[in-house]
Amino acid sequence: MQVGLAHYLVVSTLLFCLGLYGVLTRRNAVAILMGVELMLNAANINLVAFNRYAAPAAVGGQIFALVVITLAACEAGVGLALVMAAYRGLETVHVDEINLMKW
């Protein structure tokens, strides 16, 4: 049996849902960021897989994967800076304790 596009998509789906589960259930902001990274990786797998199977002659999927990786780096940097700022200002990194937006 050949490895097809569907295989990659199944893996990326499972990875994405694991990431989503982490984002939704984790209390620690850093853990939530880890979940987000997983979701981004899932998306990247999709991009590269589609590039390989749907349009093998082009490099657009890889280009976008690279851009996503770059932006993920940015997101991680800024997000973790926010966590630091929140920890310093509010003495906590738990999102259920950060409720300044409440009514």
Residues in 31-90 that interact with another protein by CB under 8 A: 31-35, 37-38, 41, 44-45, 48-49, 51-54, 56-57, 59-60, 62-63, 65-67, 69-78, 80-85, 87-88
In contact, 22 and 32? CB cutoff 8 Å: yes
> Which residues touch 54 (CB under 8 Å, ≥6 apart)?
5
Residues 3-22 binding another protein (CB under 8 A) are 3-11, 13-22
Phi, psi of 29 (to 5 degrees): -60, -35
Closest CA relative to residue 9, chosen from 38, 39, 50, 41: 50
CB 68 → another protein: shortest distance, Å?
10
CB 32 → another protein: shortest distance, Å?
8
Contacts with another protein by CB under 8 A: the residue count is 84
CB 61 → another protein: shortest distance, Å?
8
CB 57 → another protein: shortest distance, Å?
6
Separation CA 40–CA 79 (nearest Å): 14
